[in-house]
Amino acid sequence: MSCTGDGGQRELQITAYLDGELDLAGVLDLERHLEKCPRCAELLAAQRAMQQAIGAADLRFRPTLPQARRLRRTLGAPPAAAWWRQPQLRSIAALLLVAVGAIAGWSAGRRWPAPGASRISAHPETLAHPETLANPETPAIAEQVLASHLRAQLSGHPEDVASTDRHTVKPWFAGHLDYSLPVIDLAAQGFPLRGGRLDYVGGRPVAALVYQAGNHLVSVLVWPAGRDAAPGSAAVASGAAAATSSRGFGLRRWTQAGMTWWAVSDADSLDDLVRRLRAQLPQR
């Protein structure tokens, strides 16, 4: 039980605090109060514990296969009878296709597969590409970036190296890639670094950094600029990040510090993260 006689105001404050919805003045006020009020501190501890338990449990209900099929029919979509219409299987198929594309690309002795060779045909209907991403190669890359993010989320462990310490993450990449990249922790800006993983995009291994944004994950994929077979990328080199969205996921691409950057997430705060990340990176 929290403070008596305040009409529940402290409890409301604690609620908003837990949800990250309290403004700075409110946070400071509450934190000062918590130091001298064991009852409120206890309430916060209990509710935070409960929130953690909810976060750890999977409470989401998903339609069964036949249900999903019927619902899609309502939408006017063709029935989801075929296996490639199941999102999970699609992502696995995407992974296989990317892997096959990568192997084919390497074994053919080419640095890059022919345009479209590694295009994820299992995601045919999903990609959006506004004018800013008009380069014909870019949608294929965008599909792979999104597939990388979805795959990582589905696997349940979105990072190969889980560490909030960039001094652990950076050397780990150094041991797995033929290029090095700037690794920035954004914990102070509200986006703690969770770790990194390796992925295949455009038929080559690339670095993916994983950030936490509230309840959502953000994948940031990084590789040397000019190696993504997208000559048009120079157009966005110094301008605003190119933006697109697909299936409720936002994608942002820009070039900075000699690298091509892709950020993908369903978090509303994606643009904020990109802005803060860009501010921390070398400008050239």
Partner 1 sequence: MPATTIPFPLFRFKEAAAAREMPRDREEDRRRSRFEAVVLPHLDAAYNLARWLTRHDEEAEDVVQTACLRALRFFDGFQGGNARSWLLTIVRNTFYSWVAQHRERELDAPFDEEIHTVESAGGGPEAELLRRADAELLRQGFAALPVPFREVMVLREIEGLPYKEIAAIAGIPIGTVMSRLARARGHLQGYLIAHGAAGGRS
Indicate the residue among 70 and 111 with the shorter CB distance to partner 1.
70
Asked if residue 127 binds partner 1 (CB under 8 A), the reply is: yes
Q: How far is the CB of 181 from partner 1 (least distance, A)?
A: 25
Asked if residue 29 binds partner 1 (CB under 8 A), the reply is: no
Nearest-angstrom CA–CA distance, 188 and 167: 16
Q: Is the CB of residue 257 less than 8 Å from the CB of residue 237? A: no
Asked if residue 2 binds partner 1 (CB under 8 A), the reply is: yes
What are the residues whose beta carbons fall under 8 Å from the beta carbon of 228, sequence distance 6 or more? 137, 141, 201, 202, 260
Per-residue binder mask for partner 1 (CB under 8 A), 177-216, x = binder: -------------------------------------xxx
Q: Among 28, 32, 54, 279, which residue interacts with partner 1 (rule: CB under 8 A)?
A: 54
Indicate the residue among 72 and 227 with the shorter CB distance to partner 1.
72
Asked if residue 146 binds partner 1 (CB under 8 A), the reply is: no
Q: Among 135, 244, 255, 256, which residue interacts with partner 1 (rule: CB under 8 A)?
A: 244
User: Residue 248 — left, alpha, or beta (φ > 0 → left; ψ -120 to 50 → alpha)?
Assistant: left
The rounded Cα 123 to chain-centroid distance in angstroms is: 18
Indicate the residue among 157 and 247 with the shorter CB distance to partner 1.
247
Nearest-angstrom CA–CA distance, 4 and 10: 9
Interface with partner 1 in residues 70-89 (CB under 8 A): 70-72, 74-77
What are the residues whose beta carbons fall under 8 Å from the beta carbon of 282, sequence distance 6 or more? 182, 256, 257
Q: Is the CB of residue 190 less than 8 Å from the CB of residue 211? A: no
Asked if residue 49 binds partner 1 (CB under 8 A), the reply is: yes
Q: Is the CB of residue 136 less than 8 Å from the CB of residue 115? A: yes
Q: Is the CB of residue 211 less than 8 Å from the CB of residue 186? A: yes
Count CB-CB contacts under 10 A for residue 187: 12
**Interface size with partner 1, residues (CB under 8 A):** 63
**Tokens in use for 214?**
């509230």
Q: Among 31, 35, 165, 268, which residue interacts with partner 1 (rule: CB under 8 A)?
A: 268
φ, ψ of residue 195 to 5 degrees: the values are 155, -160
Asked if residue 42 binds partner 1 (CB under 8 A), the reply is: yes
Nearest-angstrom CA–CA distance, 227 and 89: 30
Per-residue binder mask for partner 1 (CB under 8 A), 87-126, x = binder: ------------------------------------xxxx
Span near partner 1 by CB under 8 A; candidates 68-76, 183-191, 204-212, 275-283 = 68-76
Residues within the interface to partner 1 (CB under 8 A): 1-2, 8, 11-12, 14-16, 19, 21, 39, 42-43, 45-55, 57-64, 67-68, 70-72, 74-77, 123-130, 139, 214-216, 243-248, 250, 268, 270-271
